[in-house]
Structure 1
Amino acid sequence: MPTLPREQPEPSPMEPHKARRMAESFGVDARRYDQARPGYPDALVARIVADSPALDVLDVGCGTGIAGRQLQAAGCSVLGVEPDARMADFARVRGLRVEVATFETWQPLGRTFDAVIAAQSWHWVDPVAGTAKAARVLRPGGRLAIFGHVYEPPAEVAESFAAAYRRAAPDSPLNGRPAQRPLDLYQAAYAKFADRIRETEQFHAPEQWRFDWAQSYTRDQWLDLLPTTGGLTQLRPGQLAEILDAVGDTIDSLGGHFTMAYTTLAVSAVRADAAH
């Protein structure tokens, strides 16, 4: 899919962490974002808290707090760091403590954590500086966990979106991509995250996790989620309406609903006991 750059980092010559306008565009409708976006597999949360259910967690790029609230429900104490004040405000309303900053500029003020997580946000962080900072704020034995979803809608839905996007936003840099892209592109991106972790020499060998699952969407549910994605948050209302109409017609032709195949990928590593 060419639609979800926030959730789906992919190998490219671009440096997403420098694209601040897109990175900080998701708060345009924070309530819709929070309501429409899926949560994370229970098995992923269980792995993060496996060593102790009472972790102090730093949630990097916490957004509206979707992942943070899941960890709170598992018994963790969570602090979010989020560059978009609109997203941070919504997360606070939902019960998450949040400080507004990019992770690179955020000041830990001597605080350390049992876990640092990044849920569909790590590609907006400088890969070298961010990994080194995560190592600094983790306690020995603490866990870094970077994770996100890969979406695979039916081919008809993906192709309808791609064609409508090309018509509505012909000058977008997101055009020119195939309607569906293979999972191995995203696996390669997470392998690069693992490489950056190894290069710090501050962590034990990274692990790569994978969780496959599915979720059903009605026409209205999918059209509610699409405007929260990075390819659409910056479009004009007329452009957005053209795309949603086309995708909606395609979903209608499928009976008004479809099943989305999801893969949640993660790379995780434990902080070594002694600094190098």
Structure 2
Amino acid sequence: MPIVSRDHPEPPPSKPHEARRMAESFGVDAQRYDQARPGYPAALVTRIVNGSPGPDVLDIGCGTGIAARRFQAAGCTVLGVEPDARMAAFAQSRGLNVEVATFEAWQPAGRTFDAVVAAQSWHWVDPSTGATKAAQVLRPGGRLAIFGHAYEPPAEVAEPFAAAYRRAAPDSPFNNGPARRPPALYRAAYAKVAETIDETGQFNETEQWRFDWEQSYTRDQWLALLPTTGGLTQLRPDQLTGILNAVGDAIDSLGGRFTMNYTTLATTAVRTGTT
């Protein structure tokens, strides 16, 4: 998809962590975001929990708490850090403890954690400081896990979307590139994350995890998700309507639904030290 969402690990511009207006645009409809966005594989959550020394989890860029609730259900105590007060308020209404700040500005006040996770949010963190700060708040043996979804709709949906988006927002930077991004682009982004973790010298060797799964979408379900993605959160209503109509027609031509093949990728490493 030639759009940026909290899902995509390497969106334009070239320094996404500086694009604060976009980074904090997802809360425009926090309830829709929470209802429409996909969850995370249970196997991923279980592997992180089992590979951490205890139950205390820090969720960076927790959004509405989609990932955090999975960790809570697995028996963890979760603290979220979220820069968008609207997203944080929604997460708090669902029982999550959240502090409103960017991760870079957030003050740990001496607190440490058994796991630090970032679900589809790490690209909004300054890469020059993110991994180092994560190491500072992790207990020895604690796990850093950065993960997100790699997904592209079938060409029959992606291509009409790309064409409608170009018509609606011809000057948008998200028009650069193909209608469907190759899987290698996602893998390269997570490999780059691994490099920044390795450069800190405070983690054991990074690992790359992969979880493949699928989800079926009806026309209405996909049209509910699209406005929560970064390339669309800042469009005018008339621009958005034109895009949704085109995509809706494309899904109708497929019988009113389609299956999305998801790959959830994770870069993870364990904090060195014993005390």
Q: TM-score, normalised by structure 1?
A: 0.97
Q: CA RMSD in A?
A: 1.4
1:209-256 Cα deviation digits (max 9, x unpaired): 011110000000000000000110000000000000000000000000
Distance in 2 (alpha carbons) for counterparts of 1:198 and 1:274:
18
Name 1:19's counterpart in structure 2. Answer: 19
Q: Judging changes above 3 Å, is the alpha-carbon distance between structure 1 residues 13 and 255 closer, same or farther for their aligned structure 2 residues?
A: closer
Contact 1:53 1:75 in 2 (8 A): no
Contact 1:54 1:77 in 2 (8 A): no
SS of equivalent to 2:70:
helix
The reply on whether 1:149 has 2:149 as its aligned counterpart is yes
Name 2:32's counterpart in structure 1. Answer: 32
List gaps (5 residues or longer) in structure 2.
Answer: none
Superposed, which structure 2 residues align to 1:37-116 within 5 Å? 37-51=37-51, 55-116=55-116
Name 2:169's counterpart in structure 1. Answer: 169
SS of equivalent to 2:115:
strand
Name 1:263's counterpart in structure 2. Answer: 263
Distance in 1 (alpha carbons) for counterparts of 2:165 and 2:70:
33
The structural deviation recorded for 1:76 is 0.2
Name 1:7's counterpart in structure 2. Answer: 7
Show structure 1 runs of 4+ deviating over 6 A.
none
Q: TM-score, normalised by structure 2?
A: 0.97
Name 1:254's counterpart in structure 2. Answer: 254
Name 2:234's counterpart in structure 1. Answer: 234
Contact 1:11 1:188 in 2 (8 A): no
1:163-206 Cα deviation digits (max 9, x unpaired): 00000011111112200111110100000000000000000000
Code of the aligned partner of 2:246: A
The structural deviation recorded for 1:109 is 0.2
Contact 1:151 1:262 in 2 (8 A): yes
SS of equivalent to 2:197:
helix
Name 2:139's counterpart in structure 1. Answer: 139
1:101-129 Cα deviation digits (max 9, x unpaired): 00000000000000000000000000120
Q: Judging changes above 3 Å, is the alpha-carbon distance between structure 1 residues 37 and 11 closer, same or farther for their aligned structure 2 residues?
A: closer
Code of the aligned partner of 2:133: K
Contact 1:165 1:243 in 2 (8 A): yes
Distance in 2 (alpha carbons) for counterparts of 1:153 and 1:261:
8
The structural deviation recorded for 1:274 is 5.7
Name 1:179's counterpart in structure 2. Answer: 179
SS of equivalent to 1:231:
helix
Distance in 2 (alpha carbons) for counterparts of 1:65 and 1:118:
11
Code of the aligned partner of 1:183: P
List gaps (5 residues or longer) in structure 1.
Answer: none
Q: Judging changes above 3 Å, is the alpha-carbon distance between structure 1 residues 155 and 218 closer, same or farther for their aligned structure 2 residues?
A: same
Name 1:197's counterpart in structure 2. Answer: 197
The structural deviation recorded for 1:260 is 0.4
SS of equivalent to 2:129:
helix
Distance in 1 (alpha carbons) for counterparts of 2:116 and 2:271:
10
SS of equivalent to 1:179:
coil
Distance in 1 (alpha carbons) for counterparts of 2:190 and 2:51:
23
SS of equivalent to 2:44:
helix
Distance in 2 (alpha carbons) for counterparts of 1:259 and 1:124:
29
The structural deviation recorded for 1:51 is 3.7
SS of equivalent to 2:212:
strand
Code of the aligned partner of 2:65: G
Q: Judging changes above 3 Å, is the alpha-carbon distance between structure 1 residues 146 and 52 closer, same or farther for their aligned structure 2 residues?
A: closer
Q: Judging changes above 3 Å, is the alpha-carbon distance between structure 1 residues 11 and 241 closer, same or farther for their aligned structure 2 residues?
A: closer
